[in-house]
Structure 1
Amino acid sequence: MLQGTMFNTFTIGPILYGLSNLGLLGRLQLNPTPGAPPYHLAITECLVFSALISAVDPVAVLAIFQEVGVNKDLYYLLFGESLFNDAVTVVLYTTMVTFSEMSSIPSEQYLLATLGFFTVSLGGCCVGVIFGLLTALLTKATQDCRVVEPLAVLGVSYLSYLTAELFHFSGIISSTCDAIIFLFLGMVLVSDRHVWHTGFVLWTLFLCLACRFLGVFLLTSLANTFRVRRINLQEQFVMAYGGLRGAVAFSLVEMLEADTIPPRQVFVTTTLVVILFTVFIQYTVNLCAALSVTRRVGACSRTALAHVVSSTRSTSAQP
């Protein structure tokens, strides 16, 4: 659902900008000096934030679907979205940050942004294919020395990530490492650099949910006109509810520079709140069982979080 990510980006951002101009977000005070005027968000700043907050965490979503055992159609619909979602998000994010640094945006920049999307996403795919073929050739030549094969596979996989990043392609498509990112997230969460803005946080939470549901229902309704097996209402609801935010959104917001995006700390705090809300509220609801979504035979009915807790208890109980 590449269109879904773009839909969220170009709905959340302009709506936040409109709410800011109407004064419905509340007073945004970045300058602590008494009597300083309030800060007014620019449209490019709102689009930067909407681009990074639209990134759905593929690891969390697919982990939930794997544990609750949803049917294959629903699983692969979300898998397809997760596969290319990161590339779209990174291109939109970098484009909006670049636009924020410009006093005026020339018309040719819009064409370059469009070409950049295809370069990053297709470039990442090409790098993955090339190194996949290289791995196949290497393992074909090591039939008499199997001990080398795991090292070759891991080494080439990491090399594909470095190559993709070297050419500014989507290294996220080539490889992901959420453990280190979430460790960093925990460290940032307990820092004292947060700037809380109730209006911005609450409106962002509402818009993330509303735009996600609206985008999923519109796009799946359009897709149903061409599908043999229609996506039913329960599956549409699960797809919309599965829009968890995580490592990608946090990584992008941490990359912002305060010189380019003055409300950076407000964006960081809001992103952390959205991540915590989606993980600890949405992640703990066994929605598939509640909506009677068709599941695989013998699939577990627990949530992914309940499965992790249960596995931890079982491991600790062993002598």
Structure 2
Amino acid sequence: GFHLYHKLPSIVPESCLLILVGLLLGGIIFGAEEKSPPVMNSDVFFLYLLPPIVLDAGYFMPTRLFFENFGTIFWYAVVGTLWNAIGIGISLYGICQISAFGLTDITLLQNLLFGSLISAVDPVAVLAVFENIHVNEQLYILVFGESLLNDAITVVLYNLFKSFCQMRTIKVIDIFAGIANFFIVGIGGVLIGILLGFVAAFTTRFTHKIRVIEPLFVFLYSYLSYITAEMFHLSGIMAITACAMTMNKYVEENVSQKSYTTIKYFMKMLSSVSETLIFIFMGVSTVGKNHEWNWAFVSFTLLFCLIWRALG
């Protein structure tokens, strides 16, 4: 019913409605069984639900416009994300020092960890409005490209602060190593993605007699790039994005029209299913007894998100 009303997506994002559906389901489960609903395992999210979404975004990325505006996109994605994460983290740490809020046990690193997590953006609603008003392509690709790289930067930054939180003492060399690792993880992931993208392009040159397996190779090599990067502690998101963009440019010339149609619609379907499950589980996991609510922390988080993103 959401898509029957054409003006609704520009007013209320689909993700918000899915979260509300999850809240309703979580409330029903909690009321029926009187225990907290099941929550999504992080491994399920990172290994099964996230890759299809990133693959879809990377494969259908307008590559020419992306690389023409890469400098601006990279600046917004890297510097903008760092600005938001660090700004929000430090601001929340200042709030945590006020004893009246009962948050004095939260450290600076924990706030920075949360700041990196909350800095991820979901531009679906904005892009939907852009499509309706037919905004110029450059503005569209800036928002779309920044959101794609933002996800990758956020995950790398989150893992960096998470490793710092697990250290008993942090030395200066650890900070420099973390900064170096920030770039190594991203660049390494891109190189793995490009390599496997070219392997996929080379493989599909010899499938003209067995067209039925062409879509399989596209999904196989893209997921392999993600798993390989994660196995070497590199950025799986950057890997699958680079692999998808490489395959879009070179594999498309080798596969048949039927295979391309299959790849397109199956990729869109997987991405849509993954996004739906993620947002519904977000709503479901909100209901239950395994949370400790602090309205001051929630309110100031929303406030600082608006302030730091506006300043950035």
Q: Give the TM-score of the pair, scaled to structure 2.
A: 0.60
Equivalent residues of 1:84, 1:121 under 8 A apart:
no
Say if 2:107 is the partner of 1:27: no
Q: Which runs of 5+ in 2 are unaligned?
A: 1-75, 242-270
Say if 2:89 is the partner of 1:13: yes
Equivalent residues of 1:127, 1:164 under 8 A apart:
yes
Structure 1 residues 60 and 115, CA gap change in structure 2 (3 angstroms): farther
Say if 2:302 is the partner of 1:205: yes
> 1:22 Cα shift?
3.7
> 1:170 Cα shift?
1.5
> 1:66 Cα shift?
3.8
> 1:110 Cα shift?
0.9
> 1:164 Cα shift?
1.6
Residue 196 of structure 1 corresponds to 293
| 1:107-126 superposed matches below 5 A | 107-126=172-191
Query: Could you tell me which of 52, 77, 86 is aligned with 2:142?
Result: 77
| 1:235-250 superposed matches below 5 A | none
- The structure whose residues are more often helix, as a share, is 2
Say if 2:80 is the partner of 1:4: yes
Which residue type is aligned with residue 194 of structure 2?
V
Q: Which runs of 5+ in 1 are unaligned?
A: 29-37, 216-319
- In angstroms, what is the RMSD of aligned CA positions? 2.1
Q: Using CA pairs below 8 Å that are at least 6 residues apart, which structure has the higher relative contact order?
A: 2
> 1:102 Cα shift?
2.2
Say if 2:284 is the partner of 1:187: yes
> 1:67 Cα shift?
4.7
SS in 2 for 1:40: coil
> 1:209 Cα shift?
0.9
Say if 2:218 is the partner of 1:153: yes
Partners in 2 of 1:115 and 1:47 — Cα distance?
Answer: 18
Q: Deviations over 1:219-253 (max 9, x none)?
A: xxxxxxxxxxxxxxxxxxxxxxxxxxxxxxxxxxx
Residue 54 of structure 1 corresponds to 119
Corresponding residue pairs, total: 204
> 1:62 Cα shift?
4.0
Partners in 2 of 1:80 and 1:160 — Cα distance?
Answer: 20
Residue 104 of structure 1 corresponds to 169
Say if 2:311 is the partner of 1:214: yes
Which residue type is aligned with residue 168 of structure 1?
H
Equivalent residues of 1:91, 1:116 under 8 A apart:
no
